[in-house]
Structure 1
Amino acid sequence: MPRNYKRRLGSLRYVDYAPEILEAALKKMVEDEWSLRQASAAHNIPFGTLRNKYMGIRTLKSEGQTVFSNAEELAFVKAVTICSDWGFPLTLTDLRYIAKSYLDSQGRNIGKFRANMPGTDWARSFLQRHKKDIRQKVASNIKRARANVSREDIVHYFENLSETLKDIPACNIFNYDETNVQDDPGKQKMLFRRGTKYPERICNFTKTATTIMMCGSASGVLLPPYVIYKAEKMWKQWIELGPKGEPCCNNRCCSVGSRYNRTQHGWMDAQTFTDWFESSFLPHAKSLPGRKVLIGDLSSHFTESVLRQCRENDVAFVCLPKCSTNLTQPLDVGFYRPFKIAWRSSLTKWKNTHLHQSTLDKKDFSSLLASTLVETNQKHNNAIKEDLISSFRATGIAPLDAERVLRKIPSQTTDTNTEDALGNVIVGYLQQQRFMVEPSRRNMRRQKLSVDSGKSVVPNEESSDSETNDDPHTNDSSSENSLDTIPEPETEYFELRQRDIFPGKFLLVKVCGGSRKKQFIDILPLCKM
């Protein structure tokens, strides 16, 4: 069968009617209003098809027949979905190996499969048949520390959050987070001559990144960004034409617009966090009545001055669960993606008009940031406001809904039905992989090896397999040019007598000292005091 089937002109048509028409014809036949001939002629449905449907006779479907039954393919679909839910998605190659293992375990030999291994065409056809349940997507990597966040951690977090957010309006709930924007427009789909092996475009880029502190409320208000340059001094041109007013907060509290700072390392520290809190957030918080809640994960930057001003201005800090920002941080979940897409678009336009500049100049950064926010907001009407509101909704903060986050964490409960035994085995394996605790590695003492010039080194299997000796040994042979450690000669000890000690003699002594308890051998002369 060809890869892309095309119907030949004049060939027999199959299923040239809607399922609703077939059901209507069968209904009238059951009610004895029509005979088979009348229903076939009225709805242009083949007589044999109506007879088989009416009598309950199951026939093979048209075109090619699948190797696996419908129940077997549904079992494969379930295995694929379980693996993706637990954070270990399968590739098309993995799916083909699963199918091969299943055929081998059943003792079935499929002639069209080489060594019972399905081909790539079968895998693509499988995806096409079950496109409503599974599809290919580009997966992003998350660390195991993030995968170890359990449902109990999230439930405990929302129990505390429900008490903290009680009777607090959405306009008083804020989320802050720092991010960085790079001097790299990234990859983009473009048009090339067909058959081009290495599609490339000429565009200067660097790994330079600038830190930005962003803060937004659950009601959709974005505070002016706080920019942190990597520098020791600040210049006036670096802070001109930056974000001010729309689409950020346009009230009197934020009338000065964005604020700028610099650090030697280029990212947020305790001093710059205090300055951001006092100069950017606190003026806006004072303009709002009632208690304010500030949610974030930068608790290491808290200072005594910040905590004191929180008590004075009725501001409460809420820390997120450890390694859970991909689930509970509103700005990470729904705001930064459209913002950085707009940043790369604005950066591309800037580089197209500054062809000879190898890097983004700091004097152009503030204006480029302002155009990025405008472009983000112009995606549709009030896009920034809607993105912030949907971000707080997706993280279950406003309105409060823990299920918004819990549904993203796989459940550890398994089914007890015998037909789901395969699924339970897969779930048990994935639980072990996701929450696996690695055994502590034994610290092995290093031993220096003596290597002659031009000789290679081979390990000694006996010494490497031994668990009682930490010192590796090698076997020196003329045929293998292997390596040998220098053996220590046996030391003879004798009892020192008083008559043997007199001026003019020498003593060979061994001294143990230093932080690593290294042994030193020295020769000491004896002299008369």
Structure 2
Amino acid sequence: MPRKPRRILGARNFKNYSQDKLQQALEEIRSKSISLRNAAKKYQISKNTLWNKLHGKHERMPGKPRVFTEQEEESFAGHLIALSAFGFPVTGEDLKIIVKSYLNRQGRKVPSNIWNYNETNLVDDLGRSKVITRKGTKYPEKIRNSSKACTSLMICGNAEGRLAPVYVNYKSQKLWSTWTEDGPLNARYNRTSSGWFDFQVFEDWFINLMLPLLKRQEGRKILIGDNLSSHLNLEVIIQCELNNVRFIALPPNTTHLLQPLDVAYFRPMKGNWRHILNDWKNIVADDPIIKKVVGESFLGHLTQKRQEATASRICRKKKLQVAPGKGITVSDVQNPVATEPVDYSQPSTSGIQNISIPEELSDSSDSNKSLPLIKKPMQKTKRRKNRSDSSDDSIDSVTYAESDDSPFNPELSDDPSVELENIKRPAFSEKTKRVGDYVLVIYDRKYYPGEITKVLNNGAIINVMTPYGKQWKWPCHKDEIFYSDEEIVMAIKEPERRGHRYVFDVPELNNLA
């Protein structure tokens, strides 16, 4: 703003009179020595201004309301001038930090009471992407199915960094129970025919999910969001007045600049969503999108990305083997040695003490004191998705057997799969190998329950269950691979369902343990 602003011709005249002049005009009007109209002409003051001052309206200063008092503003200005005179001028960013620290000490603004909410929509359409095709192709296409299904999410967080539970709204006429399983913690679910938030869904989100959090906080609470009139209704306004909650609407067409959730939260979240959706469509190209399966993968992928971002990076130190009196060469720096060299030629038994291996699992037939290697299971035609191949050079992937006279000390863990340590394997009968039978199989020295889906000469194709805490559950995608007759242990009864979350118990595994 220039030092001497020039008034534009025809612009509105703001306050161009002194306070003494205004008081003199009001005294003459109160004494009835002059009328209000004549006082306005005499003192060049607006008639509406005189009328408002007489009736006690608009007592505040003109313009934007002050945040600080007049004494506080004068104190800030005096300190800024003093710092500049001492040779330490303050920048605008420094002034913001000073004012923020002053407000924190006064307790006039609490970051935990300032909330920002915003809704977003997730669809199963990946949109456009760049592909490599023949030169001159006018309309390149990549055939990939999509639907009109969409899911709306309401995210809300405060300036302190705390996030409220997620509110999920599906596009459907009914809400299926499977859509509410394995979701975010304390999430709330709803559905509408359009998939978007209307005033009823917004009222349910505010009263049942957001209001209990706001009631635990003291003082005035602020909710900053988009200026959508369809969100607010009479019940929400009444609850805001009763609980000292205020809504602040952002200006139109400014959410991409002023909405923190759009930039800092929704952008990486939707990037991970497209990544999960792309993998899903590449694996299952003909099946429709299943909300439960994609939702579990989406949450798992976000958790993995969060762990990668917050994990501490360990810097391994190296030392140089340099003889006394000898200089350091380039080869010494390029080929350092570890601070604690490990001899990988000698087997390590620190993690497998007091463990005996059954004879049928051992590769050695003699009973000497050496530690023979145990053979790895043979490669299958198709590997399970949760099997991870490790390098042969890693010492963690090599298992050694000790002598038969070593004692055994079994300990139970939270993993429901049972280790094969000193457990006698039951015989498997060929007569019970039928499609639909439930059996126990061996993989990676553990027992897993499963169902036979196809019978072959030297084995069967079995759909195996996955551990779920201390129980079991069927995987989202069928984990069907071939198991030989040696890997099939015994026939079991159908797993018993527990609760309504599709988890099962296998009594035969408890008996083996």
TM-score range, shorter chain: 0.3 to 0.5
Counting strand residues as a fraction of each chain, which structure ranks higher?
2
TM-score by length of 2: 0.37
Higher relative contact order (CA 8 A, sep 6+): 1
Counting helix residues as a fraction of each chain, which structure ranks higher?
1
